[in-house]
Amino acid sequence: MKTIKGPAIFLAQYMGDEPPFNDYKLAAAWAGGLGFKGLQIPTWDANAIDLDQAAASKDYCDEYKGQLAEHGVEPTELSTHLQGQLVAVHPAYDELFDGFAPEAVRGNKAARTEWAIDQVKKSLKASQNMGLTESVTFSGALAWPYFYPWPQRPAGLVEEAFAELGRRWRPLLDFADECGVDLCYEIHPGEDLHDGATWERFLDEVDSHARANILYDPSHFVLQGLDYLQFIDLYHERIKMFHVKDAELECDGRVGVYGGYLPWGDRAGRFRSLGDGETDFTGIFTKLAKYDFEGWAVLEWECAYKDNLVGAAEGAQFISDHIIEVAQKTFDDFAASGADQAMNRRVLGLDQ
């Protein structure tokens, strides 16, 4: 068995215009001071990384890693959540998602898609230059507006949506293979890949591509009422990344899993800071240890109530407390009697 690495933190919810979050070196010092050992890097934020430079120059990547190491942290993975979202966008969301792209391609769907694909490729190349073996993204969504089957969906609609999703991502998965990097999709509502069934459908479309893998975030399964522990049993061979994020689902006679268009704090399903929700992290860390998950435990802070700085400080310790230092020997080794093949055959009565 292998011991999970961590704690690490995803910087997406922290980077901004004010120090220490306006510069990755300052952010690294802040994170290291809290006890984090790794940083997951949002590649769309120029304060966090220069993606063009990272994709073009191994020297830049070596210097970047050296600057992080000065504060006791290292890059865990590069994220293209926002760019990956733009690889596939249903027209209903065009204007809402335009803000994820630079002004030069807004309002031009073809140009925006091309830009997004190029961004994912640059992140994969930058990951290679940094010596990283996984990168996280969103799948985007073409079928999401039709997730509830009313009105009745036309025959073949979902099949065509996933076929197109596969056509768009297959070349990127091939490029990921050239870079030696696993492309991990965060299974997430709002994406066409939002549960096990949709993951399997996508995997069929990309011929079970070896580089198509999963970022496991149990909070998104709590909010769907999905068995997040069995999910690990079913898909552990494809789980290569892990967001440690808590959530709770408290449905009542007024509001259920769809949320009633309410703000996050009033929904039945809410993201919470670590330890404040209902997620069984002891069970999760145990299953991941059982299946030899060797990646990072990465805090993603999203909470309807608690301040993000408090969530980070508490989260570093929470993750450290849950990481299982796996056993190097079995508990009953002291009682081992020793054996060889001849003894085994005698014990079984085979040589009598």
For the chain, the structural domain boundaries read 5-347
Cα 325 to Cα 333: distance, rounded to the nearest angstrom: 18
pLDDT in tens, 140-171: 999 999 999 999 999 999 999 999 999 999 99
CA angle 236, 159, 82 (to 5 degrees): 60
Which of 51-65, 116-130, 217-231, 338-352 has the least mean pLDDT? 338-352
Which amino acid is it at 153? R
Residue 13 has pLDDT above 60, yes or no: yes
The whole model's pTM is what? Answer: 0.94
pLDDT band of 351, cuts 50, 70, 90? confident
Residue 64 has pLDDT above 70, yes or no: yes
Which amino acid is it at 226? L
Report whether CATH 3.90.600.10 matches the domain 5-347.
Answer: no
Mean pLDDT across the chain, nearest whole number?
Answer: 96
pLDDT band of 336, cuts 50, 70, 90? low
Q: At what angle do helices 58-69 and 24-34 cross, to 10 degrees?
A: 40
Q: Which runs of E-coded beta strand occur in the chain?
A: 5-10, 38-42, 74-80, 134-137, 182-186, 212-216, 239-244, 246-249, 269-272, 296-299
Q: At what angle do helices 308-322 and 281-290 cross, to 10 degrees?
A: 50
pLDDT in tens, 269-322: 999 999 999 999 999 999 999 999 999 999 999 999 999 999 999 999 999 999
pLDDT in tens, 90-132: 999 999 999 999 999 999 999 999 999 999 999 999 999 999 9
Confidence (pLDDT) at 341: 86
pLDDT in tens, 298-312: 999 999 999 999 999
